[in-house]
Structure 1
């Protein structure tokens, strides 16, 4: 294991399938909460639209997008 900072960008290395096909909703919620960039969010939204089309998951992704945008505005 490498010595990376606690808040590293390693979570962005997960594919949309890895993030959204977790065995339970808690893991999906946690994986969405760790998305810190719009590119990853867009990829996850596209994946969900192409595969499951679960409205609750799409709403979580939309909520996270709003949070990421507001963080970008604050910087």
Structure 2
């Protein structure tokens, strides 16, 4: 059974993950993404809204880490 923290992390929308003003909070939101599908949704959201290169790089890194597990 997943703990509450994991459950909360997996229920955030791409918008909720990618709108924190603080880069540290934003990075934390990205590294807690639990699966590649959620990373894809966040990439699509970022491309459609802000298209920030550093954020896209963090998302790519998270996808890579998830795939290597």
Q: Is TM (by shorter chain) over 0.5?
A: yes
Runs (4+) of structure 1 moved beyond 4 Å? none
Larger Rg belongs to: 1
Q: CA deviation at 1:9?
A: 3.2
CA 1:13–1:6 in structure 2 vs 1: closer, same or farther (change >3 Å)? Answer: closer
The answer to whether residue 39 in structure 2 is matched with residue 41 in structure 1 is yes
Distance (whole Å) between structure 2 residues aligned to residue 68 and residue 48 of structure 1: 19
Q: CA deviation at 1:12?
A: 1.2
Instruction: Name the structure with the higher helix share.
Output: 2
CA RMSD of aligned residues (A): 1.4
Q: How does 1:50-65 map to 2 (within 5 A)?
A: 50-65=48-63
Where does structure 2 lack aligned partners over 5 or more consecutive residues? none
TM normalised by structure 2 equals 0.90
TM normalised by structure 1 equals 0.83
- The total of aligned residue pairs comes to 68
The answer to whether residue 6 in structure 2 is matched with residue 8 in structure 1 is yes
Corresponding residue number in structure 2 for 1:23? 21
